[in-house]
Amino acid sequence: MSSASTDPFPLVEATIDDIHTAISSGFITAETLVERYLARIDAYDDDLNAILTVNDDARHRARQLDTAFESDGFVGPLHGVAVILKDNQDTHDMPTTAGSVALADSSPSRDAFVVEQLRDAGAIILAKANLQELSFGVDTISSLGGATRNAYDLDRRPAGSSGGTAASIAANLATIGTGSDTCSSVRSPPAFNNLVGVRPTRGLVSRTGIVPLSETQDTAGPITRTVADAARMLEVIAGYDPEDPVTATGVDTVPRDGYSAHLDPTGLEGARIGVARQFFGVHDQDSASDADAEAVTAVVESAIDDMAEAGATIVDPIDVVDIDFLESARVLQYEFARDFDQYLSELGDDTPHDSLADVYETGTIAPSIDSRIVDADILEIDADSLAEHGGYLRRLERRQQLKETTLSRFAEHDLDAVVYPPSTIPPVERPANQPFTEMNCELSAHTGLPALVVPAGVTDDGLPVGVELLGTEFGEPRLFELAYSFEQITDHRRPPDRFGELKQD
């Protein structure tokens, strides 16, 4: 379907700036924008299966913003911008389910910190997206929502756990979206759906009101179609939250002029970028083929060449960390039940269950997630003993060592960023599961350092490939400079063919 050529505001690929210009020019209102996005959800989500809940209050919120604009102008930097939230982020006016049938009636009485920040900035919460149930995995399958499909090939996975957000933003069902990332979830779904994703430095963005998987590894982050929108969104959701003490480490790290001031088209000139070859190619021959990995590597190699042509010095290769040591720093299996139970306890009378064990005992969890919980012995961990658990404490110590080692590589080679593919292989065909072993998520997740994924091109089969840039602690401004420069010189973002403009009445 295509829109009439007289449409004063084409919605497909519209950015925050596009929307604000159109509102200022009188081409569109917030209410009209919401109606058009809701029409797209109605028309296209049967194919994607990305949306769990539409916000019944979205139209009313839009009308309020339109009234405010008529009298006082924009209420904030995201005025009228439609947002799709990953459904593990609390909303006072919608259920927060983590994709679980067992939590279908869980209705928190307040917003997550990041949701409150978005609303205060003028955003409209349009809908909540499907996710890998309880965020535990990389497929985006849930007992409540079923399986979400990749926007570029409906027979393939969108990655996860934030795959519902990624698929919906790729298909232009909203302007911007949120994800959360314990290891891969705001990086591999954007990579698989031709999007931008940012995993912030640990401490930059609050976790309050987000259904947890691992307190040590969890963070929220933007999922957008452009680097500029990601920068503008991160400016809004970053900030100190007294209920999440780790955010005290991020105080005064956001530039006074914001991340948007670092959208430099010449940002690659003079940059030094290290290529982490240890994250290229198949990691496990039982999970993927060399041919699949070669398809991704070819796209990433071309992206590295583009960076060099734009003036970057490529340091190739660099060995960042020992892979076995990196894998041995994973703490999710120790923290999952403890942190999830704490989240439920904070809901008080709003919680339908008291613990992860209770949720598991309902027998409703999707089979692939159920088996992962069993295989990882998640429910066998005694949370009360973790403060004295040698294995857990050693892993926490390894994370600090990994951070120090990684930062030493930056210093040794005078690097601005390290580059590698977010996944060694493309999205797999359903019903196969996306192999976690081929996700290169642990370097950022286990060091707490920031990473940004940007579209790098497509395979010969037309499947999107992303490239991941790892930065130094609170080095987001430099990552935005590099990513924006790469985005502007390559222009790889293309919307999926099957989700075009709808005809306007």
Catalytic residue numbers, as ranges: 86, 161, 185
411 class by beta-carbon count within 10 Å (0-12 exposed, 13-18 middle, 19+ buried): exposed
Map residue 91 onto helix, strand or coil.
strand
Helix (H) or strand (E) holding 141: strand 141-142
> Residue 74 gets which letter from DSSP?
-
Query: How far, in Å, CA of 88 to CA of 220, rounded?
Result: 10
Map residue 42 onto helix, strand or coil.
helix
Helix (H) or strand (E) holding 202: none
CA 53 to chain CA centroid, nearest Å: 19
Quick one: which of 65, 70, 168, 59 has its CA closest to 121? 65
Distances (CA, A) of 253 to 146, 296, 408: 40, 34, 21
**How, if at all, do strands 313-315 and 417-420 pair?**
unpaired
Quick one: which of 381, 372, 374 has its CA closest to 436? 372
Map residue 248 onto helix, strand or coil.
helix
DSSP string, 273-342: EEE-GGGSS-S-TTT--HHHHHHHHHHHHHHHHHHHHTTPEEE-----S-HHHHHTT--HHHHHHHHHHH
Query: How far, in Å, CA of 141 to CA of 175, rounded?
Result: 23
Contact 47, 83 (CB under 8 A): no
User: CB count, 10 Å around CB of 120?
Assistant: 14
> Residue 154 gets which letter from DSSP?
T
